[in-house]
Structure 1
Amino acid sequence: MKILVVMTAKATLHLLDGELHPSGFWAEEFVVPYQIFREHGYDVDVATVGGASPTVDRTSIDPEFLQWVRPQGSENRDAENAAEYVRVVDDAAQLKQPLRIEALTEASLADYDGLYISGGHGAIGDLPKSDELAQLLRWWLASEKPLATVCHGHTSMLALRDGEGHWPFEGYRMTAFSHSEELVTNMAGRLPLILEVELTRLGARYEKAELIWDSHVVVDRNLTTGQNPYSSRALAETFIKQLAA
């Protein structure tokens, strides 16, 4: 049993004011699903654009920062979680030599039971711009196997079109990082795109948690989506159930 994890390889994000903002993948969105997948007996491969080793967003392993990306009143395990994220990121061999998305074929995808797209603001910089990733997703959708994505991993879906120019996820219920959450980041008003706006424009039936930063997961057909970093555990556990079904 195998799961392919697609991740951003961008270490910076080009903002609208010209700043190259330090970025990368969000640790919780990789570490928590990665551990859950392995606990359930799945082998995990990682793939990036160009096969570049992904860079962890430093704020996602800063215990002082993590309090701002979980719902108010939730349990404070920030120091413990940050230490665990660092340990797993350092130990995961898949992050040091990821597969090249460009080298994956429809035949090679047949080896995988599930496809999970991890997030982080860095994803805005490379995932929606990769023609090869778009083709990989077309092949995956044709296979009708389970697909999961969290937070900004959804940017990988933005450029996807079918043979008639339609967005394949039009009409799907889904969640993703919300506009409300973007507005409280230090990049508010400077991001190249707002994911909630883009998904809604393309025809998604967008929904989100009532409380900012709270966990929210949506399943529609073969697609499982998570709203934010705090959704990573529920997303992975739901995805495992989808794979078993």
Structure 2
Amino acid sequence: MGNMCGAPKKVLIVSTSAKSMNGHETGAWSEEICGPYYVFKDAGCSVEVCSIAGGDIPIDKASVTGDFLTENDKRMESDGNHALKGTPMLKDFDVTAYDIVFFAGGHGTCVDFPTDAVGATVSKALAADKVVATVCHGSMALVHAKAADGTPLVKGKKIACFTDVEEDQVQLTKKVPFLLASKLKSLGAILEEGAPWSDTATIDGKLASGQNPQSSVKCAKLALVAAA
């Protein structure tokens, strides 16, 4: 139906600013920003993109190469990549002013998403009854998020994220600081794991999450439904 009355939904997309991880050149995964960006834009939302350190978002070259390049990536390119340039810093935003806060993935997030500051941002948004969405390694943002009683926010929650099998298949098991799926399980999350590279996304209350780049659009659509 879309938002027939009142102001359009406000969405904040959060990206990594890290260009490398343990010597492996990386960044944000293009489709995981571009797919959701256009889902929200096409739904009439007001969309802003920010990053951890601000400035131009580093895009993982692999994500815009060959079969990985999506129609959404091409659309962003034809729009001059404006949304990815000169981004403001996450810390300068009041996340409670947004209906949806979407954490995009890419291996860069392994460096600058699993922090107390990012965790606190996630907790604050959910405590204010906002929708938080994470896709792929964007779920790194959940690692240090806490519930009101101090327990891990993901405990008992259904979560999708990049799986340990997928990590092994891209041969980055030795480069990541920890295996994300294993870490979330250890924090008490109920992992919804689809086959490798399958379009797998889930929602638990106001927390939407997707497994991999293939799940970005589905995850964004779930977030829109949750914010309606």
TM superposition score normalised by structure 1: 0.83
Residues in 2 aligned to 1:233 and 1:101: alpha-carbon distance in whole angstroms: 22
Residues in 2 aligned to 1:56 and 1:114: alpha-carbon distance in whole angstroms: 22
Task: Report how far residue 50 of structure 1 moved.
Answer: 2.2
Residues in 2 aligned to 1:161 and 1:234: alpha-carbon distance in whole angstroms: 26
The equivalent position to 2:112 in structure 1, one of 116, 126, 129, is 126
Task: Report how far residue 190 of structure 1 moved.
Answer: 3.2
The aligned runs of 1:162-173 (5 Å cut-off) are 162=147, 164-173=149-158
**Contact 1:101-1:132 within 8 A present in 2 as well:** no
Residues in 2 aligned to 1:170 and 1:186: alpha-carbon distance in whole angstroms: 28
Aligned with 1:149: secondary structure? Answer: strand
Counterpart in 1 of 2:6? Answer: none
Greater Cα offset, 49-58 or 154-163: 154-163
Structure 1 residue runs of 4 or more that deviate by more than 3 Å after TM superposition: 162-165
Equivalenced residue count is 219
The answer for unaligned runs of 5 or more in structure 2 is: 1-8
1:178-236 superposed Cα distances (whole Å, 9 cap, x missing partner): 01111111323332111110000000011211x32111111111111100110112112
**Contact 1:34-1:44 within 8 A present in 2 as well:** yes
Counterpart in 2 of 1:21? Answer: 24
The aligned runs of 1:22-171 (5 Å cut-off) are 22-64=25-67, 66=68, 81=70, 84-89=72-77, 91-104=80-93, 108-129=94-115, 131-162=116-147, 164-171=149-156
Look up the equivalent residue of 2:225 and give its one-letter code.
K
Task: Report how far residue 99 of structure 1 moved.
Answer: 1.9
RMSD: 1.8
Look up the equivalent residue of 2:156 and give its one-letter code.
G
1:72-106 superposed Cα distances (whole Å, 9 cap, x missing partner): xxxxxx5xx27x515515624232121212222xx
The answer for unaligned runs of 5 or more in structure 1 is: 15-19, 67-77
Counterpart in 2 of 1:9? Answer: 17
Aligned with 1:183: secondary structure? Answer: helix
